[in-house]
Structure 1
Amino acid sequence: MAEFSLEELEAAAALVYPHMQASPLLRWPLLDSRLGCEAWVKHENHNPTGAFKVRGGLVYLQRLQEREPDCPGVVTATRGNHGQSIALAARLVGLRAVVVVPEGNSESKNRAMEALGCELVVHGRDFDVAVEHSLHLEQEQGLHRIPSFHADLVCGVGSYALEMFRAQPTLERVYVSIGLGSGICGVISARDALGLNTEVIGVVSSEATCYQQSLAAGECVSTASANTLADGMAVRVPNPEALAMMQGSVSRIVAVTDDEVKAAMSHYFEDTHNIAEGAGAAALAAALSEREDNAGRKLGLVLTGGNVDSVLYQQVLP
């Protein structure tokens, strides 16, 4: 998959904005002090589903309706934010949506998806097994299967990167968490389409390092497990198209521990009074791990979402 032109990104953005506003890009003095630099936070936790994924779902489902007006319904696999995105967009266009989640998935995210009108199916030990079951349901029920990485999804979520770079085109570095890769690929596409030189740094969990290993190896490397509290980054099997977009475009990929993520979630609340889920706080965790090198720089931090279970969040706060 090639990167997208500015015209392609703007066409996708035009499908997003009738249904949501641009998210805030804010600077917080306490966070600046903690990081020792100027930091701008892209608050995707303020979106209608509490995460950046909603942008991709809106674009994908509207374009699907144009391509396949007789589509009987859709099926997808998720840990939560992608599923909420698809459920909301499917309701908007009047399509049945079946969402497969793994066992032990976030109860709050499950409830949110069902409240948006999807049919929730719980299957498998982790995200990648849930993906396999979505393939089975696609065949069994004749549904259109929506992957977690697709050109329409990348173009849709790329709208947040356009907003960020147009508001602050002199960002020196942007830290963004990596799940299956649509978010960081949207950032890469927007940066390059606008002709900027901003360094893009990916962030993974130390318990789910498939993309870090894959970027180092130059080919897709799967891991045996992805057991992290940051469920948005709990991926074992990388997407080859996402990896191809990252190669040569991502400066590096930083791995952060669950303890570092929990500390960053707490910092966001203490310094900005914002709730961040694990994947949402990962960019801050990575920037803090590189605090010395970031001194005096101008950073962008993508707070990708705020959908965290209350039990976990109570454990995180001091």
Structure 2
Amino acid sequence: MFDLHQLRQAAELIHQSVPPTPQYTWPLLAERLGCQVWAKHENHTPAGAFKVRGGVLYINELIKREPRLPGLVTATRGNHGISLAMAARNAGLRLQILVPEGNSAEKNAAMRACGAEVVEYGRDFDTARQRAAELAEANGWHFVPSLHPDLIKGVATYALEFLEAVPDLRRVYVPIGLGSGICGMIRTRDLLGLNMQIIGVVSSAADAYAQSFEQGRIVCTETANTFADGMACRMPSPDALEIIRKGAARIVRVDDAEIRHAIVAFHEDTHNLAEGAGAAALAAAMQERERNRGERIGVVLSGANIDREVLASIFGAALVRPRRRLVGDRRSPAKGQTP
């Protein structure tokens, strides 16, 4: 793993193309949750998600090691691929990306717009990942994994920005896909010597990491059927699990309904857009509202790359439900509602 000096060097490199993102505390979120909530806005990166940081650093270090690469291949549900596509284009490298069948059309379009060749293969991310590794071996391409020390160090720069700006948080909620985001947060907290809990968040429909965390061994699930594609992992990484088990306080499960509610809450309270995985941390904090009462907490809004049709269905459903009243809300009740 990296030390603090190496992390700061990575941040200097990444900031040449990815400016630091803001962290804000929002009064309406505080009212909704009954505590002070700081959001780290990785939805504000040029790629719309935190993964771009890892792509920049990974490609930079890879070119140093292998300056004559014939091409790259990887697998993704979207943000990892967008990150690598942007970095590969800037480096003049060919990149093929495998995505599962039925993947986000808008994420696919973003990857193609950056010059990557996008191929749909298999029923889920893990199937596409296995196929990408086979293609790399057969064609002599470099296989880019979804978890690697350079990817962790790259995305850990968001944690460095966040924890240096707001060092006195009681706990931080971090979504888990394959694990780079939470591993980077754990390592950064430890390097800064902070006394802060880190809470992982998974989808209840893709809870392989939660089961593995609780049982102390790798547990794979048969499916990962959640619309929050950034968390749709059914095969945990042993390396990530080791870091998470040592450094996270616990892992919280949130279901798709809770994630949708958090997407609406982010928009209603902050006018920020969040994809499924991006809203998961807030969903977990809302679930643990009583535990956090009066505390100072952080949530990682990891990305905003959600398809328009999915977003429209979420907002459309929210419009037909009564508006949820907040703590201390003095507004008159809607017609037909009691105070």
TM-score, normalising length: structure 2: 0.92
Q: Secondary structure at the match of 2:184?
A: helix
Question: In structure 2, what is the equivalent of residue 230 of structure 1?
Answer: 228
Tell me, in whole angstroms, the C-alpha distance in 2 between the residues paired with 1:219 and 1:52: 28
Correspondence 1:5 to 2:32: no
Instruction: Report the secondary structure of 1:247's partner residue.
Output: helix
Corresponding residue number in structure 1 for 2:23: 25
Give the whole-Å Cα distance in 2 for the aligned partners of 1:108 and 1:118: 14
Deviation, 1:89, is 0.4
Q: Which residue of 2 aligns with 1:273?
A: 271
Q: How does 1:98-247 map to 2 (within 5 A)?
A: 98-247=96-245
Q: Distance in 2 between matches of 1:26 and 1:5?
A: 27
Contact 1:268 1:275 in 2 (8 A): yes
> Could you say which residue in structure 1 is the equivalent of 2:60?
62
Aligned to 1:48: 46
- Write the letter of the residue equivalent to 2:138: E
2:298 to 300, 304, 312: 300
SS in 2 for 1:248: helix
| Partner Cα distance (1:224, 1:260) in 2 | 22
- 2:286 corresponds to which residue? 288
What do residues 254-273 of structure 1 show as CA deviations (whole Å, max 9, x unaligned)? 00000000000000010011
The residue type equivalent to 1:277 in the other structure is E
1:39 and 2:37 correspond: yes
**Which digits, 9 at most, give the CA deviation of each residue in 1:266-314, with x for residues without a partner?**
0001001111000000000000000001000001100000000011101
1:110 partner SS? helix
Secondary structure in 1 aligned to 2:246? coil
Confirm or deny: 8 A CA contact 1:58 1:86 kept in the other structure.
yes
Q: SS of the residue aligned with 1:138?
A: helix
1:135 is displaced (CA, Å) by 1.1
Q: Deviations over 1:120-164 (max 9, x none)?
A: 111000000000110121022211000000000000000000000
Residue matched to 1:85: 83
Larger Rg over CA atoms: 2
CA offsets 1:78-136 (integer angstroms, 9 cap, x no match): 00000000000001111111110000100000000000110111100000000011012
Deviation by residue 1:51-97 (Cα, 9 ceiling, x = unmatched): 00000000000100111000111110000000000000001111111
Tell me if structure 2 keeps the 8 A contact 1:36–1:296. yes
Name the CA distance, whole Å, in 1 between partners of 2:246 and 2:139: 40
SS at match of 2:279: helix
**CA distance in 2 between partners of 1:286 and 1:247 (Å):** 18
Q: Is the 8 A contact 1:4 1:193 kept in 2?
A: no
After superposition, the C-alpha distances for 1:197-254 in whole angstroms (9 at most, x for unaligned) are 1100000000000000001111111001000010000000000000011112100000
Identity percentage of aligned residues: 54
TM-score, normalisation: structure 1: 0.98
CA distance in 1, matches of 2:80, 2:263: 21
Q: Secondary structure at the match of 2:40?
A: strand
